[in-house]
A and B are shown apart, each in its own frame.
Chain A
Amino acid sequence: MVFNIQRHNLKWLLFIITICIISAVFFYNIHTPKPEETTIRLGLFAGSNWNVPSGESYAVIDTAIKNFENSHPGVKITYVSGIRKQDYAEWLAERILNGDEPDLFMVLADDFNLYSSMGILQNLDSMAENDSSFDTSAYYQAALDYGKYRRKQYALPFESMPTLMFVNKTLLAKENIPIPKDNWTWQDFLDICRRVTKDTDGDGTPDQFGYYDYTWQQAAASNGLQLFRNDGKFSYFADNKMNDTLKFMIELKKTNLGYTVTAKDFDMGKVAFRPFTFAEYRTYKPYPWRIKKYSSFEWDCIEMPSGPSGRNTSELDTLLIGMSSRSKHKRITWEFLKELCYSSETQKLLPSLSQGVPVIKAAVESNEAKQALLQDAPGEEKMNLSIISDVMQTAVSPPKFKKYSLAMLMADSEIKKIIDGTLPFNNALNKVQKQINDLLQN
């Protein structure tokens, strides 16, 4: 009796298992393209990563795709166009949840750590090591480091965005101050700010200022301060360098004589210095933006001032492209990733077709790049191109761990209170460090 029941069930089970296997094979086939034509899907967002208006956002990518398809017959590269940057994170998350994320996709800075730790991004180390045509020393270190998670490379940089100090040449000339040299210091910065801040029209309030929008983060970076331990579990806010930075920021704030400088003051040519990203420079320098926004003064860019323990550096913002760990064509995808992020052909196009800076040293120093940059600069305003390369060389990559944004937000509000004088300076940094460490460790 018992035996009979089991025999009967065994037949049923075999039948069910067969059906399961058949359906699995069927689904697998649906999701797998035919071998004759390999399709690599690409995940991109429209517009610029640097929050500046951008006309032809796919120009560089399209050229790279055309080149790659020509050199690799049988490979087709597709992408969905028109996804805005603000929708991109959700779009990519939906694809990942569906299990059909693109083989290659742009990784937003906020999502990089999440996707690396989840294992969605492919670890590229072994591919890079086994590829003799690939050499990491071609990259600017800070750009390459930005694609690392726990010392492993999970994405390659596509373009970078250094921060430069913009100088109102007209204002400095009026005050008879020479444009600072590239290795200028905090002290120089303070001196100039003190000299230019004055009341020119005699209405009793100052209407000419030294700086606008210079943050304590930028100061900390140029003072050689590492704010977080590499594993993101500990912070160094109580460091002496941070102490110096805060003292400097308080001094600097004093130069404004209690007046809150606005963006309008800068636009009207009343401010001597303002940190700007390269993208803003590239966007607003050429016609027609230049006329529209900053017509009243001449301006140029120099490196950031260096602190007593640091160099003339800034944090480098970088756009990353990563590979899906679930991609079915990893080899050919890696080739295309190199075409985008390593080939100097593609990278050389960035200065002319995009607002970013190439991440390959050779591409920045190439003649094409120089031509592209000079072309935009009107009249006698020749930009000193070596600045870009120098800034890229010395730049540091900001840390990326899950709680980074949150920790920085918290630290920012506390430190702003210290700079504004609402919190007493004594021992305040120790408290901040303790508070941030509590956040990081829980």
Chain B
Amino acid sequence: MHIKIYSITVMHYFLYIFNAIVVFFLAGFMSITQTKINISMSAHSFLSSISAPPFSASEIIIFSSCSFSILIFLSTFYRRCLLNQNNQRRYILLALEICACLIVMRSINMAYDGVILLVVADLVSGYRGKNQRIILTVAMLGLYLIASYNLIDLRLKMIPLDAYISYYDQPAQGILKAACNIFTSFNMIIFVIYMMLLVQNQHQEKERIQSLNEQLNTANEKLRNYAIEAERMAETRERNRLAREIHDTLGHALTSIIAGLDACLATIDAAPAFTKKQLQVISDTARNGINDVRRSVKKLRPDNLERLPLKDALYQMIREFSSASGMQIELQHECWPQNLREDEEEVIYRIVQESITNANRHGKAAHILITLTEENNWLKIIIKDDGTGCENPVKGFGLRHMQERLMLLHGALAYEGHGGFTIKAAIPLNRGDVYNDKNNDSG
């Protein structure tokens, strides 16, 4: 793509350079011929053959080179405006460019109209859509009407190139006329090649847009499939969670109750007192089970996290828990990670909640310290209590549950039971950015 644009630019510069050569050649030819006419004492017969006073030899050179430089300057400026999409300035520049083009042609007595193609090239490359078709047509038509020398012969008196050429002898005249024709034809060829490249470029641009469009459609389709998949996965995950909850609470309680009742069935006749005591225990277990079920149901209900931002939800939970259990819970954080996704917030909240519950239930702790730190794009959560701890902690459902949640986020979990229980969880923070397209391209 870049190579194509580059070759168009090169062609365009070539058009500039070729026209510069022709204009300066003609200006030089005219001024040299005028000087020669003066030296050879044929000024009067030359003047008799023309209908307007010519510029002097030096004036032709200065006039043509100045106006041509201005034309190129305006043309370059115009092309820069095309990139900026500055319409108003573009039209002004175009009008000025047409004026400069006319001045160039006037300075060389309309002997060469190829400079018009420079303006036409600019016009065409600036062509945008239907509403500009009229401007394009009018401008091109006008330029060509002006250029067809006969049309304005009567109003703007020019010195025909033939008057200059006829000063020379016959063979030289032939060569000069041929040279002029070659200039015009060659300029036309360059222009046509330039146009071809331009059209080709626009065609390829169109094709590229079309293929990009197709790619976009495919990506959209994929995304839709992903969304359906994700929904299904969320459903499964929720089902698993429910299963875990039921297993944790109801299943455990019912198992204990069944085991206890079986024992009671065996002992009820032999030791009614013992059985009675056992039944009391079973009753407690059942009650605990009910509590657990209640807690689970409560968990399914929208809680703090869903109502409040993570930070407030955490504080709210700590406040509620400490007032209910009498534990001292402290939350320390250096900075609060920004742009956490919902699932990450959920995981953080659940880990803290689970750890506090564990500390209360298993460790009988009195103090809990929660620290949140951010380090090398990892969010680290450390929950440390001063409870009984556990020399060789068995991975219960709670811990495994934590681990599973963290693994979904590509995080890690570590714990130790010496002198109270300490849980260390880590969540990668840049993980979510992986799917960001912009940064992906830059990376």
Contacts and interface: CB of A to CB of B under 8 A. Distances in A.
Nearest to B83: A3
B6 A94 contact: no
Interface in A79-96: 89-90, 92-94, 96
Given A6-B76, A24-B62, A118-B157, A98 B56 contact: yes
A326 B53 CA distance: 10
Interface string A95-118: 011111000000000010010011
A14 B48 CA distance: 41
A90 B44 contact: yes
Nearest to A87: B41
A314 to B, nearest CB: 29
The interface centre, meaning the residue of B5, B46, B57, B66 with most chain A CB atoms within 10 A of its CB, is B66
Contact of B43 (A3, A6, A20, A96): A96
Nearest to B62: A24
A5 B13 CA distance: 10
B69 A16 contact: yes
B73 A13 contact: yes
A119 B52 contact: yes
B141 interface: no
A173 interface: no
B52 A118 contact: yes
A6 B79 contact: yes
A90 B295 CA distance: 121
Contacts of B72: 13
B332 interface: no
A149 B77 CA distance: 47
B56 A97 contact: yes
B321 interface: no
B34 interface: yes
Contacts of A10: 73, 76-77
A113 to B, nearest CB: 11
Given A20-B65, A93-B43, A93-B44, A100 B53 contact: no
Interface in B52-67: 52-59, 62, 65-66
Contacts of A96: 43, 47, 53
Contacts of A17: 66, 69-70, 73
A97 B47 contact: yes
B4 to A, nearest CB: 11
A120 interface: yes
Nearest to A98: B56
B73 A118 contact: no
Interface in B126-163: 157
Contacts of A100: 56
A23 interface: yes
Contacts of B44: 89-90, 92-93, 111
Interface residues of B, number: 36
A114 B43 CA distance: 13
Contacts of A93: 43-44, 46-47
Nearest to B77: A10
A206 B76 CA distance: 89
B37 interface: yes
B86 interface: no
Contacts of A89: 44
Interface in B191-223: none
Interface of chain A, main secondary structure:
helix
Nearest to A3: B83
Q: Which of A20, A24, A89 has the most CB of B within 10 A?
A: A20
Nearest to B38: A94
Interface in B341-384: none
B69 A13 contact: yes
Contacts of A3: 83
A248 to B, nearest CB: 36
Interface string A111-141: 1001001111000000000000000000000
B9 interface: yes
Interface string A12-36: 0110110011011001000000000
Contacts of B69: 13, 16-17, 20
A204 B54 CA distance: 64
Contacts of A9: 76
Given A1-B6, A99-B59, A114-B48, A94 B76 contact: no
B181 interface: no
A302 B41 CA distance: 43
A98 B157 contact: no
Contacts of A2: 5-6, 9
Question: Among the interface residues A21, A23, A94, which one has the most CB atoms of the partner chain B within 10 A?
Answer: A94
A2 B57 CA distance: 38
B301 interface: no
Nearest to B44: A93
A98 B47 CA distance: 12
Contact of B62 (A23, A92, A117, A118): A23
Contact of B66 (A20, A92, A326): A20
B268 interface: no
Contacts of B280: none
Contacts of B9: 2, 5
Contacts of B41: 90, 94
B239 interface: no
Given A6-B79, A99-B56, A120-B53, A21 B38 contact: no
A325 B37 CA distance: 22
Contacts of A24: 62, 66
A147 B84 CA distance: 60
Given A2-B5, A20-B66, A90-B43, A97 B157 contact: no
Given A27-B58, A97-B46, A118 B80 contact: no
Given A1-B6, A97-B37, A27 B46 contact: no
A100 B22 CA distance: 28
B313 interface: no
A6 B72 CA distance: 11
Contacts of B5: 2
Interface in A222-267: none
A51 to B, nearest CB: 19
Interface in A375-429: none
Contacts of B125: none
Contacts of A92: 44
Contacts of A1: 2, 6
Contacts of B80: 6
B50 interface: yes
B38 A97 contact: yes
Nearest to A324: B53
B288 interface: no
Contacts of A23: 62
A120 B56 CA distance: 13
A96 B51 CA distance: 13
B118 to A, nearest CB: 14
Nearest to B57: A98
Contacts of B54: 97, 99
25 contacts: A1-B2, A1-B6, A2-B9, A6-B76, A10-B76, A10-B77, A17-B69, A17-B70, A20-B62, A20-B69, A21-B66, A90-B43, A93-B43, A93-B44, A96-B43, A96-B47, A97-B37, A98-B56, A99-B54, A99-B55, A114-B47, A117-B51, A118-B50, A118-B51, A119-B157
Given A2-B9, A21-B66, 18 more contacts: A1-B2, A9-B76, A13-B72, A16-B69, A17-B66, A20-B65, A20-B69, A90-B44, A94-B38, A96-B43, A98-B34, A98-B56, A98-B57, A99-B53, A114-B47, A117-B51, A118-B47, A119-B52
Minimum-distance CB pairs A-B, first 6:
A99-B56, A93-B43, A93-B44, A94-B43, A20-B66, A13-B73
